[in-house]
Amino acid sequence: MSSMIQARPRAVSTSPAERRTKLADLRFGTAFTEHMVSMRWSVRDGWHDGELVPYGNVTLPPTAVGLHYGQIVFEGLKAFRLEDGRVASFRAAQHARRFAASARRLMMPEMPEELFVAAIRDLVRQDQDWLGDDPGISLYLRPILFATEETLALRPATEYRFLLTAFITEGYFGRSLEPVTVWLCEDYVRAAPGGTGAAKCAGNYAAGLIAQEQAAANGCDQVVWLDAATRTLVEEMGGMNLWFVVRDGDSHRLLTPPLTGSILPGVTRDALLTVAPRLGLPVTEAPVSVEQWRTGCLSGEITEVFACGTAARVSPVAEVRGADGSWSCGTGDRPVTARLSRHLFGIQRGVIPDEDGWLDVIS
């Protein structure tokens, strides 16, 4: 146990019957485990009052800064049951660094990497029994930091609360590589240069709900965000990064939009940038226009399209719809997407050697 995170003696456990009931409904974000980590920060005391406690409600003053001015950032990462029975989180240190960067952008305290990782380790160790032997199940971890100071002064708060909760899940779109249909959003934008697009802050997701509703109204699973200035360049899909498989003679290469400050720097994206070249798939980071996407698919130059993220891992895109029509992405055979998905999952499950030290084995 980290010296800053103390366990209360009243730890709780869910009965086998209650656990079976929760695990019978694995819709994303519903099957929460029994415990959470709580910590506070203040200008006077820094990080303090770290506790591993039973999962439960929290209280806030009605004038807490986070409720009014949106000083809220969060993360999302996973822990897996390895093939040898141990449990490990995936790329916790990288998520810690992104969490700190998001906090820095919103003028919030940066949690030290070692403290973030300690919180992950403590909660996973406590609630690891939720992870059975089913390889399709993972433990999704949700750290969040929000301003709690009781004031309506428009300035950075002086007091904050950190919480870490967990839930059992399959993938965001289920456990299989079912392809999704996406909607090109031209009415709204997710982020603009100089904004908060590169930060994982709550407001970005609230602002995207209306576009997701528009996508659903057009029979689509997800929205594709375009650049704010011209609405012609592809940025990302929902909360995931987009990738294009491009035919290059008898082989293939990968193409993905670059990080411009308005795109979230995905941890899974970063992992694919590392492993894809090892699999003989060179990667180019370059702008991709909607027209390039459309004509590339129609000509056969673009053979597959997929998105990646912590929740969904690797998700193939089957069809694109927009105000000016629709087109298909490939012929339905997606060998490159499937290969990348298997390889990444193999690392996460300890089946494929972890060359980069991404697994933090906890127990």
Does residue 159 share a domain with residue 26?
Answer: yes
- pLDDT of 55 above 70: yes
- The residue among 163, 148, 131 whose CA lies nearest residue 55 is 163
Residue 311: band (very low, low, confident or very high) from pLDDT cuts 50, 70, 90: confident
Q: Three-state SS across 253-279?
A: EEEECCCCCCCCCCHHHHHHHHHCHHH
**Residue 361 covered by a domain:** no
* 183-231: pLDDT as tens digits: 999 999 999 999 999 999 999 999 999 999 999 999 999 999 999 999 9
List CB contacts of 339: < 8 A, sequence separation 6 or more: 279
DSSP 299: H
User: In the chain, how many domains are there?
Assistant: 2
Does residue 186 share a domain with residue 164?
Answer: no
Residue 27: band (very low, low, confident or very high) from pLDDT cuts 50, 70, 90: confident
What is the pLDDT at residue 9? Answer: 42
Does residue 147 share a domain with residue 86?
Answer: yes
Query: What does the alpha-carbon distance between residue 185 and residue 163 come to, in Å, rounded to a whole number?
Result: 33
DSSP 308: E
Domain holding 251, by residue range, is 180-348
Q: Which amino acid is at 282?
A: P
What is the pLDDT at residue 269? Answer: 97
Q: What CATH number does the domain containing 60 carry?
A: 3.30.470.10
What is the pLDDT at residue 173? Answer: 54
Does residue 215 share a domain with residue 158?
Answer: no
List CB contacts of 206: < 8 A, sequence separation 6 or more: none
What is the pLDDT at residue 138? Answer: 95
- pLDDT of 172 above 60: no
What is the pLDDT at residue 11? Answer: 56
Are residues 291 and 233 in contact, defined by beta-carbon separation less than 8 angstroms?
no
What is the pLDDT at residue 1? Answer: 46
Does residue 139 share a domain with residue 21?
Answer: yes
Are residues 315 and 182 in contact, defined by beta-carbon separation less than 8 angstroms?
no
Does residue 216 share a domain with residue 154?
Answer: no
Burial level of 57, CB count in 10 A (0-12/13-18/19+)?
exposed
Mean pLDDT, residues 8-22 taken together: 67
Among 170, 197, 213, residue at a domain's last position: 170
